[in-house]
Amino acid sequence: MKEETRIEILQLPLTSSLQPSFDLSKSQGRFLAIQKAFLDPATVPAGTFVTVTGEVIGSVTMPLDETEYTSVIVEIKNLRVWPRDEDAYSRTRPYIGPSLYWGPYWSPYWRPWPYW
């Protein structure tokens, strides 16, 4: 028997940095993503923001509250799990303005990456 993992995803528009937005009211619906291999639920807990690319392979009707909802089924080719907001903030370097150590590379138009 083949193992597969099903993930129900709420579609959200992307921000300018191609991350899912946090505004749930702008969703255009739900879809079901299927991974042909086992995916540990601990790696993608409920509420995790993901980006999925894949191929549409059909649709399925599922219950949603007291009604039925037709969802598209996407076979996952690539799955990206986005870090939580507080994790992403801790990796970015805060802007350092003019000071005694403001050299030729420390200007308002040059911002280094966190790791050199």
Query: 52, exposed or middle or buried, with CB in 10 Å at 0-12, 13-18, 19+?
Result: middle
Query: Is 109 contained in some domain?
Result: no
Residue 57's domain spans which residues? 5-91
Query: Is 12 contained in some domain?
Result: yes
Please report, in angstroms and rounded to a whole number, the separation of the first and last CA atoms in the chain: 48
**Domains in the chain, number:** 1
pLDDT computed for residue 90 by the predictor: 46
The residues pairing with 51 across neighbouring beta strands, listed in sequence order, are 80
Query: Is 112 contained in some domain?
Result: no
Give the confidence band of 60 by pLDDT, cuts at 50, 70, 90: very high
- Averaged pLDDT, 5-31: 87
71-81 pLDDT per residue, tens: 999 999 999 88
Query: Is 58 contained in some domain?
Result: yes
Dist CA 78 CA 101 (whole Å): 44
Query: Is 40 contained in some domain?
Result: yes
Query: Is 110 contained in some domain?
Result: no
pLDDT computed for residue 104 by the predictor: 56
- Given the structure tokens 């991350």, which residue do they identify? 19
23-54 pLDDT per residue, tens: 888 888 889 999 988 888 888 888 888 889 99
